[in-house]
Structure formats: C-alpha cells, structure tokens
Amino acid sequence: MIKLKDVRKTFNSGKPNEFVAVEKLSLSLDAEKTTVLMGPSGSGKTTLLSLIGCMARPTSGRIWLSGKEITSLPERFLTELRRTTFGFVFQHLNLIKGITALENTMLPSYPLGEKHAALKKRGMELFTRFGIASKANEKTESLSGGEAQRVAIVRALMNNPSVIIADEPTAHLDTRLSGELLEIFSRLKDEGRTLLISSHDPMVCQSVLVDRVINIRDGKIEEERS
C-alpha cells in the first residue's frame, strides 16, 4: 500500500547544522497490517512518519501510495491525501487548548464544508464508542492523560482514514492506560485499517496486534522482524 524507495530527508541543507534524518531508505508497508517503527531518539522514526503521512517532502527518493506516486504532488493534493487517507495521533497529542474536546475532533473536517450538525453527530458517535461521551463538552485542559489520548484518536478517525499513524502513543501513559490504548488499536485493525506506530515501548513492540517491527537507527533500517 505504501512504498518508499531510496528516500532521503535532509534538514538545514547547505547550512553548518545540516542534518540527515533519513538516509536512502526503502520500505514497503502492506494494507491492513500493523507496523511498529522502533529505535532510539533521533533515529529518524518521526521523520519517516512525516514522510509517509505526507507531512513533509523527501529531499530525494520516491514515495507511492496505493500505486500512485506522491513525491512531487502539489501541496493541495498532499493535504487532501493527508486529510482523507491518514489519521495522526501525535506524540504530544497537539490538542488545541481553550476549546472543547468535541471541537478539537471536528477541526480536521472544518475546511471540507461539512454541516456542523453532521460533524457533531459523527464526533459524538466516536466519543461514545471510545467511552468518553461525557467529556465531549469539556475543555481539553481539564482532561486526564488517557482521556486526552482518546480525544486525539477520535480526531484522527473523524475523516475515516484508512491509515492511522501514531507517534510514541504510550509515551505519557501508565501501564493500564497503555493496555487500553492497545485494545483500541486492535479494534481499529479489526476494522481493516493500516496502523503505523513509532515506539520504543516493549509493551507496544511485543503486542499481539503487531505484524511487523522495523528497527531504525541513524535514519537507516537496521533490522526487520515479523
């Protein structure tokens, strides 16, 4: 479903602090499978997630999505893809403070011109599904870590994406909440979604829902395990 060939990403090109985050990496990800990218901090996991999720462009190399090359697509089309194909759960969740949990989840769909009532209904359905319906109208600042994590997941699911990308999703969760999160991911996988998770949490890497673990170090694939 997702294919990368000789992808390289350089930051601060030409400057003294030039840095290569991903070095000539080639990778293939199958649909409806769960892949974990493992590696220490600075290994290039987050960069790789950005590249796959159309949040950044590679410095060189090529990327395909469902057979179509997306490497040099104009920004508009990339954004469209990002909106419809990918749902992101960021490491720091990146919920907007000062607005309610429900509003946060509706945000990705705002520019699409969908009716507000329809968005609200869809959001509430997802909130109910993940057991946080009572928190819908609360401001994000008043949510617990686990609740905020679920809100982030709901936001990622609002546009019904086929691929879920999660960056260190258990980084700020305790064991119990991490377990609950993995249950949620399992359910998403059962729905036929492709999951791509970056983590160095053994609880995630060793979970039964994981089909493949890729070790990344210094921007290169070190090892792969299925």
Partner 1 sequence: MKNWIDRQKNIIDFTLSSLFRRKGKNIALVSVFTLVVLLLSSVMFFTYSFRKEASIIMEDAPEMVVQRTVAGRHEMIPVSYIKIIQDIAGVQEVKARLWGYYYDPVTGANFTLMVSDEFPLEDGTITVGEGVSRVRLIYEGDWVEFKAYNGEIFELEVVDFLSVESGLVSSDIILITENDFRRLFGTTEEYATDLILRVRNPREITTVAIKVAELLPDTRQILREELLRTYDAVFNWRGGLLIVILTGSLLAFIIFAWDKASGLSADERREIGILKAIGWETSDIILMKFWEGLVVSLSSFLMGIILGYIHVFFIRSALFQPVLKGWAVLYPHFNLTPFINGAQVASLFFLTVVPFTVATIIPSWRAAIIDPDTVMR
CA angle 159/160/162 to nearest 5° reads 125
Nearer to partner 1, 139 or 186 (CB): 139
Nearer to partner 1, 23 or 114 (CB): 114
Kindly state the smallest distance separating residue 57's Cβ from partner 1, in Å: 7
Binding residues for partner 1 (CB under 8 A): 46-47, 49-50, 55-57, 75-76, 79, 82-83, 88, 90-91, 94, 96-99, 103, 106-116, 119, 155, 159, 167
Residue 176 to residue 173: CA distance in whole angstroms = 8
Residue 202 to residue 123: CA distance in whole angstroms = 32
Residue 218 to residue 185: CA distance in whole angstroms = 28
Kindly state the smallest distance separating residue 41's Cβ from partner 1, in Å: 11
Contact 51, 59 (CB under 8 A): no
Indicate the length of the chain as a whole number.
226
Kindly state the smallest distance separating residue 211's Cβ from partner 1, in Å: 24
36 sits in which H/E element: strand 34-38
Nearer to partner 1, 35 or 100 (CB): 100
Nearer to partner 1, 95 or 181 (CB): 95
Kindly state the smallest distance separating residue 99's Cβ from partner 1, in Å: 5
